[in-house]
Each structure stands twice: as structure tokens, then as C-alpha cells.
């Protein structure tokens, strides 16, 4: 008799696993279970319940819970199946209630019970209490349970607790290591991520990709490229996620040599830009940020499929290079294809208008974006419009726009207004903007510096001293100006303001001195008001000579072939004096010079800049 029941149970489970595909099938099997008196069998009902809770649009509290409630003596596996269903589909409190019900009925949980509970928990207090229960029942040595506990603590933001669980695990697998590596990378703690990675036996693609993308996302592009090179040397397969991470790193660095190397790898894989819209969009962004907007457009044109992200990347690329008309033209081409613009698309369009002074065009599109294209303006769009109006000298209009916004202005909005006030040397509007910024971003040094520099341009040295004193009281320190340039051999050289550490610094300084003397013979005069300090003119000249982009320029002239383009990347805004020097150098040397600062690209050729001095 017992043997016959076992056969019926196995047959019922086989039918559930192989024949059930719809709710009607499940009901027919349920009827079969009743006819064969198996409705109290936890083993059979657990399998049916798991099937039901995987069907779409079947609420857990309806049929699945009713099925469970009809079993008089459910075993821990049946409990765990319903706990998992509630943990995954909600409401979560029902899974906790079921767990309590188990304990009240003296039914001991199994490892699946805890892995189900921890899988969706984001409450650190409740999670810690359940962690204690897992300890008491002896399941923390279970690999899968420990991994879900680590995952729970990571989701709660308690990395130290997650690491403690990891360190105490008797056995670990790739999931244990990778979970923490990814968590450290996302939190910005790349030292801890690197420590774990180095100790990981049998590094797989996920672990390598986590390190590459982690370094890229934490603004460590050289490290990301180093790990990508090591990944390749280890023979690890490259996928689209890895490629997008390393492409992002290359975009940050702005080095053309790396860009072409990575593109070659992408094109030789099955994730080439022609067939993969994600990689293609990333390559567009990379080439744009490496100063080669023409090649970015070649990638764009070669894509068989384009979506809103590829169009938005290309529009943003055109905008950053001052190709406003090309950006607007592409926007309308996108509309003709039936692709709807999104929030990012309009940021790119408004940036293009702002960098080219196309006020009417920008205002027209801003007015039409919600009514015609279904994109509601956000604070980011208002920041773009404040920048557009402010750069064009319409500071009063920009201020009214900010003061009448339908949402509370954020730091980006007031920052745009402060930047425009600096351009047009309007300390009164700068004071209004900075007042709000000091509340919203009390530790953002850039805002204090911009206000101080605006006062300096207006000759209000007492106000400069007051702001500088405030900076000292807050112990805010300025990030040093840094520029990097790619030498002929593809090696990227970094320079800081006042740099003395470069091995060729004496030759560089001599080349810079000779260049400036040559420029002076052609009418160049240092723009001393670019120095926001109340010091004598000679001191200002010396400070201007030590700017990092000038050192990078001199090294570029020394280390690249005559007639080749010099590309310089800078972490801060290029100052007016350096802008003048770049213009003049392009004329006297016949070189094209491209400078990427933290706002846009400047293409210098024959004594003029692509920004038309509208920057």
C-alpha cells in the first residue's frame, strides 16, 4: 500500500513538472491529486504550489495560499515554498508571519526557509534578528544561506556586516566573493574590492568585469584599462558589459590610442558597434570624449540599429564639440524615424543651444518638449535653460525663470546661474545664486571659488577675503588643476598646476617660455585678471605660466610630430588666459589643438576656437 502511494506521488509530481503550463492544467492536476487522496501530501502540494507561484498574474494570497491552508500538517518544505513566494512577490510581512507560524507549530525551518527569507529583506533590524535564528538553527555554515545573508546585508548598506559573514564562512564559492567585490566597487571602496579580487581563486568573467566597471565608475580609468588588459591576457571572454565598462574608462581618459585598441576588440567580437546598440552607443560617447566627434559620427552611421540612447549620445557629442546645428539636425532626424526623445536627449539639445548662443531655438524646444514630445521638464532642463539665458547675458530673465520654476531649484540650477554670473561679472546675481548653493551644497568648494573669482573680477577684494576666510573655516581645499596629453607613443602624461615632478620638466618649462616669448612678439599679453588673487602683476604672470594645460601644451609640442593634432584633457574649466594662448599657438605653429575641459571641447585652429569665445 505504501509503495502504491509513493508511485502515485511521483507520478503526480512528474505530471506537474512535465505537463503543467497553464492555470487550467494546474487545476486539472489538482483534481487528479484529490481523486487519488494526495491532497494532504506536502511533497506533492509543494511542487504544485511552486508551479502556481511562478505563473504570472496569480496573486500568492489567492489560489496558492488556499492550496497551502488545506494541508493539515504542512512540512517545512511546503512552508518554505509559500514563504519564498511571498518574499518574491509580496507582501513581505506574510512571509515573516508564515515563518512565525512554523515556529509556533514546532516545525523546524530548513535551509531553504532562510534563503527564501533573506532573499528579499532590506530591513537591517529584521535581517539581523533572522541572522540570529539562522545561527541558532545551525544554518550559517550552509553556503547558500550564507550567500543570501551577505546579499541581505549588502542591500541594507551594511558592508561591514556582510564582510564579517564572509570572513567567518567555512566554505565560499564564486558568488560569495563576487557579491562582495561588486558591493565594494559600488560603494567606491576599490581598495577592499581589489583585496578580495586578489584573493579570489579561479577568477571568472563576472569578477573581472566587476573590477573593470568598478574602477571606471569610480573615476579610475587607468586602473580600469589595466585590469581590462589583464583580463585579456588571462584569456577571459569579453562580453558587452565588460566592453561598456572599459569604453567608459577610455572616454574618461580621452586617449585616442586606447580608443582605437578597444574599438578593435569590440569589432572583432560578436558585440561590434554595427550589431550591438549598447556597445555602439558607448563607442559614440567614447570617441566624442576623446576629441574625435567625426569618428563618433562614423560609428553612429555604421550602426544597423539605433535607439534613443545612441541618438542621445551623438547629440550630446555634437553639443560638447560646439556643433550645435548638427545636434539640432540630428534631433529632428531622430523624430522622423519615430524614435521618441527622452530626458537625456533634451539635455543634449539644450546644451548644444547653450554652447552656441541659440537662445530662440532653445526656448522654442523648451516650450514644446512636454506638449509636443511628452517629456516633462525636470530640474536638469531648467538648469540648461538658466545656463542658456545666462551665457547669452540675459541674467535677469534667467533669474526669473529659476524663481518661477514649478519645482524647487537644485544645485545644478543655481550653479548654472552662478556660472553665468561669473562669465558676465555680475556679483549681485552671483550672491543670490551662491546663497542657495551654500545651503544645498555646503561643502562644494567650486561654488565658493566661483563666487570668490566673480568678486575678484569686479575688484571687490574685501568680499574675496570674506569668502576665502569662509573656505578656511570649513577646511575646504581646492582640487589641483590637472591636464593630460597623449604623446606620440600613445603614453598619457599628466601635469598638475606648478608641476615639478615630470622627468622632462626643465625642457618643458623652457619650451613653454620660448613659446610665450614667441606669442608676445605676435601681440599676446597675459590676461592677468584670470588670476583671482590680490597679488602683484609679476606673481600673476608666474601663476599663469604654471597652469597645467600650458605645461601639457608645451609637452605636446615637444613630443608629437609637426603638423599633428595636440589633444589635451583637463579636470577643471580652462581659464581665459590659457584659452588665448591656445588660440595664438594654433596660429603661430600651424597645429590644431583640441582641449577638453570639464564643460566642453575647444577646437583651436589658425588662431580661432570652435566656441567663438562663447564659453
How confident is the model over 504-521, as a mean pLDDT? 94
Cis peptide before 91 (omega within 30 of 0): yes
DSSP 590: -
For residue 531, pLDDT beyond 90:
no
The alpha carbons of the chain give a radius of gyration, in whole angstroms, of 31
The model carries a pTM of 0.80
Q: Is 596 helix (H, G, I), strand (E, B) or coil?
A: strand
DSSP letters, 437-480, are HHHH-TT-HHHHHHHHHHHHHTT-HHHHHHHHHHHHHTT--PPP
What is the tens place of the pLDDT at every residue in 175-204?
Answer: 999 999 999 999 999 999 999 999 998 898
Residue at 425 is within a domain: no
DSSP letters, 467-527, are HHHHHHHTT--PPPPEEEEE-TTS-EEEEETT---STTHHHHHHHHHHHHHHHHHTT----
Count CB-CB contacts under 10 A for residue 280. Answer: 26
Residue at 505 is within a domain: yes
Counting Cβ atoms within 10 Å, is residue 35 exposed (0-12), middle (13-18) or buried (19+)? exposed
pLDDT band at residue 329 using 50, 70 and 90 as cut-offs:
very high
Instruction: State how far the Cα of 541 lies from the Cα of 527, in Å rounded to an integer.
Output: 9
Whole-angstrom CA distances from 204 to 197, 210, 307 are 10, 10, 31
pLDDT band at residue 380 using 50, 70 and 90 as cut-offs:
very high
- Chain-centre distance of CA 238, in angstroms? 20
Domain end position, chosen among 108, 123, 151: 108
Residue at 579 is within a domain: yes
For residue 613, pLDDT beyond 80:
no
Backbone angles phi, psi at 64, to 5 degrees: -60, -45
**Mean pLDDT for the chain overall:** 90
Lowest mean pLDDT among 1-10, 155-164, 516-525, 545-554: 1-10
Residue at 184 is within a domain: no
Beta bridge pairs of residue 522: none
Tell me which residue of 308, 302, 298, 372 sits closest to 338, measured CA to CA. 308
What is the tens place of the pLDDT at every residue in 136-162?
Answer: 999 988 999 999 999 999 999 999 999
Residue at 267 is within a domain: no
- Residue 74 belongs to domain spanning: 1-108
Residue 367 and residue 337 in contact, taking contact as beta carbons nearer than 8 Å: no
Residue at 294 is within a domain: no
Q: Which pLDDT does position 559 carry in this prediction?
A: 92
What is the tens place of the pLDDT at every residue in 57-106?
Answer: 888 888 889 889 889 999 999 999 999 999 988 888 899 999 999 999 99
Tell me which residue of 226, 289, 222, 216 sits closest to 254, measured CA to CA. 289
DSSP letters, 317-374, are HHHHTT-HHHHHHHHHHHHHTTPPP-HHHHHHHHHHHHHHT-HHHHHHHHHHHHHHH-
The total domain count for the chain is 2
Pairing state between β 608-609 and 593-596: unpaired
Polymer length of the chain: 615
For residue 1, pLDDT beyond 80:
no
Helix (H) or strand (E) run with residue 530 in it:
none
Residue at 89 is within a domain: yes
Q: Which pLDDT does position 369 carry in this prediction?
A: 93
Name the packing angle between helices 174-187 and 205-217 (round to 10°). Answer: 10
3-state secondary structure 177-212: HHHHHHHHHHHCCHHHHHHHHHHCCCCCHHHHHHHH
Domain end position, chosen among 79, 108, 137: 108
Q: Which pLDDT does position 350 carry in this prediction?
A: 95
Instruction: State how far the Cα of 158 lies from the Cα of 126, in Å rounded to an integer.
Output: 13
How confident is the model over 42-63, as a mean pLDDT? 86
What is the tens place of the pLDDT at every residue in 386-415?
Answer: 999 998 889 999 999 999 999 999 999 999
Beta bridge pairs of residue 602: 595
Instruction: State how far the Cα of 423 lies from the Cα of 433, in Å rounded to an integer.
Output: 14
Instruction: State how far the Cα of 64 lies from the Cα of 58, in Å rounded to an integer.
Output: 8
Pairing state between β 566-570 and 593-596: parallel
DSSP letters, 144-162, are HHHHHHHHHHHHTT-HHHH
Tell me which residue of 140, 141, 148 sits closest to 120, measured CA to CA. 148
Residue at 224 is within a domain: no
Amino acid at each position: 500500500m505504501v509503495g502504491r502511494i509513493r508511485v502515485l506521488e511521483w507520478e503526480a509530481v512528474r505530471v506537474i513538472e512535465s505537463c503543467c503550463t497553464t492555470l487550467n492544467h494546474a487545476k486539472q492536476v489538482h483534481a487528479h491529486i484529490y481523486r487519488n487522496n494526495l491532497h494532504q501530501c506536502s511533497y506533492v502540494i509543494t511542487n504544485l504550489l511552486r508551479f502556481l507561484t511562478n505563473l504570472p498574474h496569480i496573486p500568492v494570497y489567492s489560489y496558492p495560499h488556499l492550496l497551502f491552508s488545506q494541508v493539515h500538517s504542512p512540512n517545512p518544505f511546503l512552508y518554505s515554498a509559500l514563504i519564498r513566494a511571498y518574499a518574491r512577490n509580496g507582501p513581505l510581512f506574510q512571509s515573516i508571519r508564515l515563518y512565525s507560524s512554523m515556529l509556533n507549530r514546532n516545525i523546524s525551518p530548513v535551509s531553504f526557509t532562510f534563503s527564501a527569507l533573506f532573499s528579499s529583506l532590506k530591513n537591517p533590524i529584521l535581517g539581523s534578528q533572522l541572522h540570529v535564528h539562522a545561527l541558532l538553527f545551525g544554518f550559517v555554515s550552509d553556503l547558500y544561506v550564507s550567500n543570501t545573508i551577505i546579499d541581505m546585508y549588502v542591500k541594507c548598506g551594511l558592508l561591514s556586516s556582510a564582510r564579517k559573514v564572509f570572513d567567518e564562512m567555512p566554505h565560499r564559492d564564486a558568488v560569495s566573493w563576487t557579491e562582495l567585490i561588486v558591493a565594494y566597487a559600488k560603494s567606491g571602496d576599490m581598495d577592499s574590492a581589489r583585496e578580495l579580487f586578489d584573493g579570489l581563486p579561479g577568477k571568472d568573467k563576472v569578477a573581472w568585469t566587476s573590477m573593470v566597471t568598478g574602477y571606471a565608475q569610480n573615476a579610475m580609468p587607468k586602473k580600469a584599462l589595466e585590469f581590462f588588459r589583464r583580463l585579456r591576457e588571462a584569456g577571459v571572454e569579453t562580453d558587452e558589459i565588460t566592453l561598456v565598462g572599459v569604453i567608459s574608462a577610455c572616454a574618461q581618459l580621452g586617449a585616442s590610442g586606447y580608443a582605437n585598441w578597444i574599438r578593435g576588440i569590440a569589432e572583432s567580437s560578436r558585440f561590434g558597434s554595427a550589431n550591438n546598440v549598447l556597445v555602439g552607443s558607448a563607442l559614440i560617447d567614447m570617441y566624442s570624449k576623446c576629441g574625435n566627434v567625426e569618428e563618433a559620427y562614423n560609428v553612429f552611421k555604421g550602426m544597423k540599429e539605433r535607439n534613443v540612447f545612441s541618438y542621445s549620445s551623438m547629440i550630446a557629442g555634437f553639443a560638447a564639440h560646439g556643433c550645435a546645428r548638427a545636434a539640432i539636425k540630428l534631433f529632428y532626424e531622430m523624430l522622423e524615424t519615430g524614435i521618441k526623445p527622452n530626458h537625456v536627449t533634451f539635455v543634449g539639445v539644450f546644451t548644444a543651444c547653450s554652447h552656441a548662443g541659440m537662445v530662440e531655438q532653445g526656448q522654442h524646444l523648451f516650450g514644446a518638449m512636454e506638449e509636443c514630445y511628452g517629456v516633462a521638464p525636470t530640474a536638469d532642463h531648467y538648469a540648461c535653460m538658466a545656463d542658456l539665458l545666462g551665457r547669452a547675458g540675459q541674467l535677469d530673465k534667467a533669474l526669473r525663470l529659476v524663481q518661477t520654476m514649478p519645482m524647487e531649484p537644485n544645485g545644478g540650477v543655481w550653479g548654472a546661474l552662478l556660472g553665468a554670473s561669473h562669465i558676465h561679472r555680475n556679483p549681485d546675481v552671483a550672491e543670490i545664486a551662491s546663497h542657495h548653493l551654500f545651503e544645498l551644497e555646503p561643502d562644494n568648494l567650486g561654488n565658493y571659488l566661483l563666487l570668490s573669482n566673480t568678486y575678484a573680477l569686479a575688484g571687490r577684494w574685501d568680499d574675496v577675503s570674506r569668502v576665502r576666510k569662509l573656505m578656511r573655516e570649513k577646511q575646504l581645499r581646492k582640487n589641483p588643476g590637472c591636464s593630460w596629453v597623449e604623446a606620440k607613443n600613445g603614453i598619457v602624461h599628466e601635469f598638475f598646476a606648478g608641476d615639478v615632478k615630470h622627468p622632462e620638466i626643465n625642457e618643458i618649462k623652457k619650451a613653454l617660455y620660448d613659446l610665450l616669448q614667441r606669442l608676445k612678439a605676435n601681440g599676446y599679453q597675459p590676461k592677468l585678471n584670470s588670476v583671482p588673487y590680490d597679488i602683484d602683476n609679476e606673481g600673476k604672470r608666474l601663476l599663469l605660466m604654471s597652469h597645467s594645460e600650458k605645461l601639457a601644451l608645451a609637452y605636446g609640442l615637444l613630443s608629437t610630430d609637426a603638423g599633428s593634432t595636440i589633444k589635451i584633457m583637463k579636470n577643471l574649466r580652462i581659464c581665459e588666459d590659457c584659452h588665448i594662448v591656445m588660440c595664438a599657438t594654433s596660429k603661430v605653429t600651424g597645429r590644431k589643438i583640441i582641449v577638453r575641459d570639464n564643460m566642453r571641447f575647444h577646437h583651436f585652429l589658425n588662431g580661432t576656437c570652435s566656441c567663438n569665445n562663447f564659453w
